[in-house]
Each structure stands twice: as C-alpha cells, then as structure tokens.
Structure 1
Amino acid sequence: MNPNGEQVLDLRCVNCGWGIERLFVQYSPGNIRLMKCESCKVVADPYIECEFMILLIDLILHKTKAYRHLLYNMLNLEASDVKGILWKSSLINFLLDAYRFSILKGSKNDLDSSKGLLLTIWTCGEIFVNVTLGNLMFVSVVFLGTRILLNSTFAITRYRGILLAILVSSYFKLFLMAIMVWEFPLSVLFIIDIFVLSSNCVALQVLTQSRIAECFWVCFSAHMAKFFTIHWLPTLLSGSC
C-alpha cells in the first residue's frame, strides 16, 4: 500500500526481473504502448500483446520469462483476489491428486463394482485422508525447504505467494483429465510427475531468485515426502498393526 492507501502491484520485467511501475500506457481502447525496463532497456513484458497459447507454449518450454509474466504480472501476488485463486487452485490440485491416487490403487474398479455403500464410503475416506496428509506433508517440506533455502538477507516471507506459485506451476496435472477419456499406461502418471516437478522448480526459482539446483532439491524433497506419505506410510502403518 502506498501513503495514499492505494494498492501497489509488484510488477516485474520478464527479461531481468527488475521491478517496474507500469507495464503499458493505454491511450485509447486497443491502443497501448508497452513500457521499457529501466534496467535492461527492452520491452518489460511483450506477453501482454501475445495470445494465451504462446504463453502456454513458453510455460511448457519452462522459459523463465513466461513464469515471471504468469506469477508477477498476470497472477500478481499482491492482488486482492489472490486468495480466491489460491483456494480454487488448491481444490483443483486436490481433486487431481485424489484421482491419481485412485488410479494407482485401483480404487476406480472398487468404486465401479457393486460391493456395497459402506465399501464405497470407506474407499472415498481412505483417498481423502491419504491425499490430505500427502499434501500437508508436501506444503510443509516446501515451506521448510524454502525457509532454509532463503538466506536471512532475502526479504520474501510471503508463503502464500510461494504456495500459489507451486500450485499454479502444477498445471501439467490437468493432463490427468485425458486419462478419464482415453486409456494410457501407468507410466504416463510418472511422466506427468516429472513435468510437474520441473515446472515447480522453475516457478520457485523465479519467485525466490535462487539457484535452480537449490530449488530442485526443495521441490524434489517435497514430492518425495508427499509420495511416501500417500503410498508408503499407510502400508507401513497397516503392516505394523
């Protein structure tokens, strides 16, 4: 917030990450002029005039410019509606994780079979508990790893922004919806996991301005903790009982 009580957005140049006051000047509807960055002296955000498909392709190619546009200029972390986006992203990711878990555990066949209402409720409850615990473990490791990754001189304490960046950069999970229509081998699930991991690394690097190797270990540790909690921990607990 500025002294006048107006909200100040944290806009960035997609080329160098330098903060910029405004991305464009609009003279009339449909007539705009893109602003240049004071640091690198080039157009701060050319994605403003690009189609969404171009942005999506660059996101798939893991270009840091596209992630800066997405996280800072498109889904600005200081925007007032960021909480709504965060809740919607969390819900979508949770549902996709639940569907992925049901595929690996063969729960889909159990739900389709006529073995009684109690078994269906038990299966749904198991999916809900396992996925919830897995995601809580994932978020905890991301926050802990990011806290360790960031030095005391780094001024990012917006864990909400970190969580939003991780959730939004997990857009590869949307390809799970194709499995609902067409049959794919289970190896496709792990290919999607690899793309999600790499996308999370780039998003965390853009947000924290850290080295890609450090971001990789944070994201890899979080994904491994989530995988262990969802798939291995229930088996270990049931075996020890």
Structure 2
Amino acid sequence: MEDQPQYFCINCGERISSLYKKYSATVLKLTECEYCKKIADKYVEYDITNVVIGLILLDNTAYRHILLNTDFKHYWKLSLILILLEAYSNMTLLNNSNVVQCDSQNQTEPSLKDFDVNVEDLKFYILTINIGISFLCFVATTYLLTRIYYSYLNNNRKKAPSFILILKTITLASSSIFLQLPSVIWDLSVYSYHLHFISLYITLSQLLAYKVISSCPKIWCLLTIFSSVFIKSFINQYLNRVISFGIV
C-alpha cells in the first residue's frame, strides 16, 4: 500500500489529512485546520506571484506551502542557477576590485595570462566549483547539527527533516541571490556592500525557512544557521586560496 501524502497547516504547522475537498472539476473547498481553526493552506488557490511575494516578505506561511505542501521537484535546477549567479557576481566584484591594481602594475613573471587561454572563463569555472563545494558544506553542516539535536536532545530521530528537505529549504531560502541581477545586468557595478546586504537578507531567510521545517528551539536554529554560514565562508575562502592557480 502506498503511503498517503502528508500535508501541514501553514499557520500552526500541524499535520492535516488533505488540503482541500474536490466536489467537481470547478468546485473545491479548502480544508480548515482542526487545531487553529484557520484555512489550512490558502495558497492552494493563489497565483504563484502571491507565493513569491510572501517569500520576499519572509512570510513563514509561504515557506510552509512550498516546502511542506508541494513537490518542489526542480530544487536542484534552482540550486545550480543560484551557484552560477553567485559565482558570476563574485567574479564581477573581483574584477572591479582588481582593475586599478592591474593597470598600475607591470607583469614581470610568467602566468596563465601569457598563454592562449581564456583566463576570465577559467576564473568563472574555479569560482563556480568553490561556491558549489561551499554550498554543499553549508547543507551538510545544517543536516549534521539537525541530526545531533533530534538524536541527543530531542530523542526523536524519526521526526528529523531529511537531507533532501534541508537541501530544498536552503535552496529556496537562498533565492534572494537573484537580487544581484539588477546590478549585474543593468549597472554592471557589483560592490561589496551589495553582497553584504544580500547575504544578511539570505541568512534571515535561511533562519526562517529552517525554523519552518524543524521543531528546534530558536537558540538551536540560530546556532545551526550561523555555524553553517561560518563553515561555508571558511571553506570558500580556503578554496579560493588553494584552488586559484594565481588567477582568482
């Protein structure tokens, strides 16, 4: 027998049997949560634009709808796009910070720039690999700390979020990287304070999204996300020093 799909009330987070009852092809009735007496998932009949607005406004009900009540099958495609966008933004910032220095210094030692290779493309590939590895370290750290909480502090491993759910959560919460697009496309000026502001917003999104899928207390959520951010930053800086070949 196939397992019945599990749904959750986006208001209180309790499990419900279904999101709606369908009476005909055009008539359906949304389920009322028996715990909080509210509509279990109002986003069922909303346009995707309303859901996106809720995500931007850091509405936990929008995150519950996407993460707990939908399939969200294409999270891996979104994660690849976010990694590529972050790599391109970092490369643009790197080029902006080095342009003056490159103009004022004369090259005296041979480097990859002396050979017939596309150095800019190589920079992008290296940054993409570094950011991809750092992202996986972020997800792995979050998953590890989550397992520690549910195994030793909560003593209920069965309720621990799966690795795939955590990957979906971090990917969705990191979608704010798209805020870098206006600077990259129209202005072509990416400054460090842009990235710092967006990074802060992404961290808040990740904290909220992680709280949505887990029953961890707030202090443990803070510890988990900030530890993951630190690990990601450390790994990224380390890889930029080691896997740079003198061009990044």
TM over 0.5: yes
Q: Corresponding residue for 1:226?
A: 232
**C-alpha distance in structure 1 between counterparts of 2:27 and 2:78, whole Å:** 33
**C-alpha distance in structure 1 between counterparts of 2:46 and 2:39, whole Å:** 13
Contact persistence 1:107–1:123 (CA under 8 A): no
Q: Corresponding residue for 1:100?
A: 89
Q: Corresponding residue for 1:209?
A: 215
Distance 1:121 1:163, change over 3 A: same
Q: TM-score, normalised by structure 1?
A: 0.81
Q: Corresponding residue for 1:174?
A: 178
1:131 counterpart = 2:131:
yes
- The equivalent position to 2:74 in structure 1, one of 80, 85, 106, is 85
Q: TM-score, normalised by structure 2?
A: 0.79
Distance 1:39 1:10, change over 3 A: same
Contact persistence 2:137–2:231 (CA under 8 A): yes
Bigger RCO (CA 8 Å, 6+ sep): 2
**C-alpha distance in structure 2 between counterparts of 1:170 and 1:187, whole Å:** 18
Contact persistence 2:10–2:64 (CA under 8 A): yes
Q: Corresponding residue for 1:78?
A: none
Tell me by how many angstroms 1:14 deviates. Answer: 0.9
Distance 1:45 1:229, change over 3 A: same
**C-alpha distance in structure 2 between counterparts of 1:47 and 1:125, whole Å:** 39
Distance 1:205 1:235, change over 3 A: same
Contact persistence 2:130–2:236 (CA under 8 A): yes
Q: Corresponding residue for 1:146?
A: 146
Tell me by how many angstroms 1:157 deviates. Answer: 4.8
Distance 1:124 1:54, change over 3 A: closer
**C-alpha distance in structure 1 between counterparts of 2:168 and 2:65, whole Å:** 14
- The equivalent position to 1:51 in structure 2, one of 16, 29, 47, is 47
Deviates more, 1:36-45 or 1:139-148: 139-148
**C-alpha distance in structure 1 between counterparts of 2:96 and 2:118, whole Å:** 14
Q: Corresponding residue for 1:79?
A: none
**C-alpha distance in structure 2 between counterparts of 1:96 and 1:211, whole Å:** 33
Superposed CA RMSD? 2.8
Residue 5 of structure 2 aligns to a residue whose secondary structure is coil
Residue 197 of structure 2 aligns to a residue whose secondary structure is helix
Runs of 4+ displaced beyond 6 Å: 107-110
Q: Structure 1, unaligned stretches of length 5 or more?
A: 76-82
**C-alpha distance in structure 1 between counterparts of 2:232 and 2:69, whole Å:** 30
Give the letter for the 2:212 counterpart: V
Residue 33 of structure 1 aligns to a residue whose secondary structure is strand
1:60 counterpart = 2:56:
yes
Residue 13 of structure 2 aligns to a residue whose secondary structure is coil
Tell me by how many angstroms 1:158 deviates. Answer: 1.2
**Identity rate, percent:** 29
Distance 1:107 1:85, change over 3 A: farther
Tell me by how many angstroms 1:236 deviates. Answer: 7.5
Contact persistence 1:25–1:32 (CA under 8 A): yes
Tell me by how many angstroms 1:121 deviates. Answer: 5.2
Give the letter for the 2:156 counterpart: T
**C-alpha distance in structure 1 between counterparts of 2:191 and 2:156, whole Å:** 47
